[in-house]
Chain A
Amino acid sequence: MEREQIQRLQSIAGEQRIHFSTAERLCYAYDSSLDAQLHQYLPDVVFTPDDVSEIVKVMQFCHDQRIPVIPRGAGTGQCGGAVPINGGVVIDMCQLNKVLSVDTDNLQVTVEPGVVHADLNAQLAGTGFYFPPDPGSSKMATIGGMISYNASGMRAAKYGTTREYVLGLEVVLADGTVITTGGQHCNALKTVSGYDLTKLFVGSEGTLGIITKARLKVMPLPEKKGIAIAAFAQLADAGRAVVEVFRQRIVPSAIEILDASAVTAAKAYKPGIVLPDAAAVLFFEVDGPPPAVSYLAQRIAMVCRDLAQHVDWTDEPGKVKTLWEARSVVGAASGRVRPGATRVYIGEDICVPITKVGAALEGIQAIGKKYDTIIVTYGHVADGNFHSAPVIDLANQEEIRKVQQVADEIQEMALRLGGTVTGEHGVGIVRAKYMEREHGTALAVMRRIKQALDPDNIINPGKMGL
Chain B
Amino acid sequence: MTSEELQRDLERCVRCGKCRSVCPVFQETDFEPTVARGKLALLRDYLAGLRVPAEELAAVLSRCLLCKSCAAQCPSGVHGDELIAAGRELLVSRRGLPVGKKVSFSLLQHRRIFDFCLSLATWGQKMGLKRLTGRSTAAVLRFPMPGLTRRRVVAPLAARSLRSQYPPVIKVDQPRRTVALFTGCMVNYIYTDAGRAAIDVLTANRVTVLLPRLQHCCGFPVFTSGDTVRGQLLARHNVQVFAALPVDAIVTLCGSCGSAWRFDYPRLLADDPALRAVAQAMAAKTYDICEFLSDVLPLDADGLGKVDTTVTIHDPCHLARGMGVAKQVRRLVTAVPGVKVVEMAEPGRCCGAGGSFSLAYYDLAREINDHKIADIVHTGADTVLTGCGSCRMHINDGLSQKQQPQQVLHTVELLALAYSAKQRGQTTSQAG
Contacts and interface: CB of A to CB of B under 8 A. Distances in A.
Contacts of A36: 15
A92 interface: yes
A395 B20 contact: no
B33 A23 contact: yes
Given A75-B32, A335-B77, A343-B14, A22 B20 contact: no
Contacts of B18: 137, 139-140
A49 to B, nearest CB: 11
A140 B14 CA distance: 15
A421 interface: no
A342 B12 CA distance: 5
Nearest to B56: A23
Contact of A97 (B30, B32, B50): B30
Contact of B33 (A27, A76, A118, A140): A27
A342 B11 contact: yes
Interface in A102-139: 114, 116, 118, 137, 139
A28 B33 CA distance: 8
B75 A26 contact: no
Interface in A326-369: 331-332, 335-336, 340, 342-345
Contacts of B12: 335, 342
Contacts of B51: 22
A394 B11 contact: yes
B60 interface: yes
B215 to A, nearest CB: 38
Contact of B14 (A32, A114, A118, A336): A32
Contacts, number: 91
B52 A32 contact: no
B274 interface: no
Nearest to A94: B30
Nearest to A29: B41
A28 B45 CA distance: 12
Nearest to A73: B17
A28 B51 CA distance: 16
Given A27-B42, A332-B75, A40 B21 contact: no
B401 interface: no
Of residues A24, A95, A97, which shows the largest number of chain B Cβ atoms within 10 Å of its Cβ? Answer: A24
Contacts of B41: 26-27, 29-30
A282 B77 CA distance: 27
Chain B: interface size category: 20 to 34
Contacts of A118: 21
A175 interface: no
B405 interface: no
B57 interface: yes
Contacts of A116: 21
Interface in A1-51: 21-24, 26-32, 36-37, 40, 48
Contacts of A394: 11
B76 A342 contact: yes
A92 B51 CA distance: 23
A23 B32 contact: no
Interface in B1-56: 8, 11-12, 14-18, 20-21, 30-33, 38, 41-42, 45, 50-53, 56
A32 B30 contact: no
B59 interface: yes
A26 B17 contact: no
Contacts of B38: 27
Contacts of B50: 26, 40
B267 to A, nearest CB: 20
A358 to B, nearest CB: 28
Contact of B30 (A30, A95, A335): A95
Contact of B20 (A24, A28, A74, A343): A74
Nearest to B39: A27
B14 A344 contact: yes
Contact of A342 (B14, B42, B45, B52): B14
Contacts of A345: 14
Interface string B157-194: 00000000000000000000000000000000000000
A366 to B, nearest CB: 25
Interface string A64-90: 000000000011100000000000000
Contact of B17 (A29, A76, A114, A395): A76
A144 B15 CA distance: 19
A36 B44 CA distance: 13
A153 B53 CA distance: 40
B29 to A, nearest CB: 9
Contacts of B33: 23-24, 27
25 contacts: A21-B53, A22-B51, A22-B52, A24-B56, A26-B45, A26-B50, A27-B38, A27-B42, A27-B60, A28-B32, A32-B16, A37-B15, A40-B50, A75-B32, A92-B32, A95-B30, A97-B30, A116-B21, A118-B21, A139-B18, A139-B20, A140-B18, A342-B14, A395-B8, A395-B11
- What 10 pairs between A and B have smallest CB-CB spacing? A139-B21, A332-B75, A23-B56, A27-B38, A94-B30, A27-B32, A394-B11, A76-B17, A27-B33, A140-B20
